[in-house]
Every structure is written in structure tokens, then in C-alpha cells.
Homo-oligomer: A and B are copies of this chain.
């Protein structure tokens, strides 16, 4: 029987938790156990099918483990014995641990639609062989239907169209694509951007059945419509991968995620930690469980878990939820609450918007208009969230907003935000949108 101070089960978050652990506790031995031969960059998966062109170009190199002194065991953990403190692999091997980390991630949600098991119906599994097969099939088909217009669905649609002569239809149940993540005006902008590429978008449509014999031939909608399809991609979300955790007796919470405290320690066993999509997640704003799944959140949790294994020092403040996407060359991003979320929570809010070119003067080459919307709490002036659209700079601009939210900055504080500006890199200091929106809101928020 092998032994290690720390045994980690999982993929991407597992790698980060291991590196974080070795940084804080260089003398502890760490073993990472995972089934997959290679780990894919999760957010890069849609790009395999267009911009990147192959799954092999989207892997996290295991060199990261070697250089950190972490042993990798490729195998499937089938049982964990909390009394004996051992993990059993499918091949019979057992590995003893002092601390065990669940970083088992999530699995794509496969809805119970009739016909979902037909040939050429694909979920978005983080499995290189499976995705290679999807890529091959994509080269052979004419009509692709993507079920679900969230980030994954929209990004798949935008990528699958590239360098390919296919008809693509996105089917979304809600009135707008991306509606769970963004406010309506941004959803509309993203839908238009995607529609410009020739992708069809059907909203307010529920899939009733996937039709065909052996392989899919069409998708039948509740409205009666039938959409031709020789390939279907399911992009309707993911669920925590916690079968083994359940079997191990760990208490599960929201959506069957493993219950953890703010140190990422499981509520059930003091020597077991969990992080990433398999762990229960809390909102920064109200501390309630959050269903948001993002690689960036998972890595933050993994860094916290790894650092806390033998002496808890990092406290998880909860998920602000910061994300960005690109649709047909246009970037969209959100940090914190949307207007919809804020209103749903009952908050009295003040909203401001501003647009500006992301260079100055606007005549600089490569200039893109940026649109920013901020949401402030009326009683306190505190920033609750921001939505953005624009060019590439949106990707880091949303991180500026994340920093402001994390520090519960008020509109007054943001009026005085000290930004660097440059003609080729940012909006002008006069129009810098973050500050300008705060300036617009500050009077409606007075007094606070």
C-alpha cells in the first residue's frame, strides 16, 4: 500500500490544490489521482472546434505537477474509507492519506429528453477522446442543433461555424440566450452578434424530443416546430460530480455539492477538503449557495483548500462570480449581480450606464466602443455588479470591477478611482466608463 500526506482526487482544481499545498507545506507528500489521461483547459473546450482546431492544443501540461513534486497516479478512485483513511482504485491499489481532497469537478447535465441517447447527440464532457469524436463528426454533418443558449452553447455555436459549411441552430428555453448570466440588453447584443454569423437562434423554445432512427435526424420542439439536425450538442449546464463523495459519507448540499466551510474543509470530516465544481459554493453577497460554475472560481477555491490543509489561513469570502465571453469578436462580461439578480433579491438599487471608445481619441486604430452598466445598492452606495460589452479590454476591465466589488466600494469611492489611461490602450481619463458611471450615479445615491 502506498501512502501520502495528501491525496487529491480530480482534474484541474486538483492540480491547483496540489501546487498550493506544496507551496505552503513543501515537506508534505502529495499524490494526485485521476481517471483522465490528460486534463483539458475547461474554458478552452468550445475553442477546440474552431479557433484552436484540436483537443491536443487545449491541455493542461502535467509538467506542472512534476515541477511541483506532486506524484500523479492515473487511475479511478472507486472508494474512500474514512476510518482507515485510504482510497481504493479500480485496479485494486490502495493509497493511504492524512488529508484527502475532493476536486472531482462536474459532469454535463444530460436532460431526460426522449432520444437523448441517439447517435450524434453529444454532451460537453471534459474528455479528450469523446471531444475528438465530436470534432470528427462535426466535419461530416450539415445541420447542427445546440440545445441551451448559455455561455457554452453560444460559444460552441460561434466556434462550430468557423471554417465549416454547416447550419447551426441554438435552442433556448428562456426569452433570451445568456439570460441567467447577463441583463437583457447585453443578451440582445450577444444574440445579434451571433445571428450576424448566420447562426439561427430560437428562444422561448423547449425541446420535446430528439428524433431519428439510430442517429439523430431532427429536434422536435414543444411549439410544434421541427429543426433538421444530424448532430446535437447539449449545452444546458453541469452538475457536481459527487458520487464517490456520497459513497464516502460526505454530507451533500445544494445540487448535491459537497458541504464545506469557508476554509474548504468538509462539514463531515476534518481531514477531508473539497474544492471546485464538486464543492458547495456561496455567494459573496448573501452567503447563500450558488450554482455558478467557472474555472476561475474553481482555481481560487483550490488555492484556498491547498493552503488550508494543515493550518487554515485562507478564508473564502464567497463567489462574486466574474465571467467573460466573446461572441463573433465582441466581448461580454459580468461581475457580481445583474440588475435582474439584484431586483430578485429585493435590493433597492441605482443603475447607471455609460459608453466610451476603448482608445482615445476614438480615431486611434483598433478602437472599440465599450458599454458599461453598474448596479449600486441605494441605501449604502455599494457596488453590487457590473455588465460590459466591447473589445478585448473588457476581459480585464471586468476584473477591475471585481476588485471594486470585493472591497465593497461605493459610487463615491469609484468616482475617485485612480486608473491609468493611454491613447492606444484605454478610454480617455474624461470618459473612463467605470468612473463615469459612478459619477452619474453619485447624486441619486446621496445621502448615504
Contact = CB atoms under 8 A, between A and B. Distances in A.
Interface of A: 12, 15-16, 20, 23-24, 41, 43-44, 47, 51-52, 57-60, 64, 284, 294-300, 303-304, 307, 313-314, 316-317, 319-320, 322-326, 331, 333, 335, 360-361, 363-366, 392-400, 402-404, 406-407, 412, 415-426, 428-430, 432, 435, 439, 442-443
Nearest to A414: B403
Contacts of A297: 418
A24 to B, nearest CB: 7
Contact of A324 (B41, B300, B319, B425): B425
Give the copy number. Answer: 2
Contacts of A335: 420
A253 to B, nearest CB: 21
A324 to B, nearest CB: 4
A51 to B, nearest CB: 6
A348 to B, nearest CB: 21
A423 B50 CA distance: 12
Contact of A299 (B41, B59, B430): B430
The 10 closest A-B pairs by CB, nearest first: A395-B425, A396-B396, A403-B403, A322-B420, A299-B429, A296-B429, A324-B422, A407-B407, A395-B426, A326-B424
Contacts of A403: 400, 403-404, 407, 417
Given A324-B422, A326-B422, A403-B400, A16 B430 contact: yes
Contact of A423 (B43, B317, B417, B429): B43
Which DSSP category, helix, strand, loop or mixed, fits chain A's interface? mixed
Residue of A64, A297, A303 with most partner-chain B CB within 10 A: A303
Contacts of A60: 430
A416 B364 contact: no
A19 to B, nearest CB: 8
A303 B422 contact: no
B296 A419 contact: yes
B360 A41 contact: yes
A322 B314 CA distance: 29
A326 B421 CA distance: 11
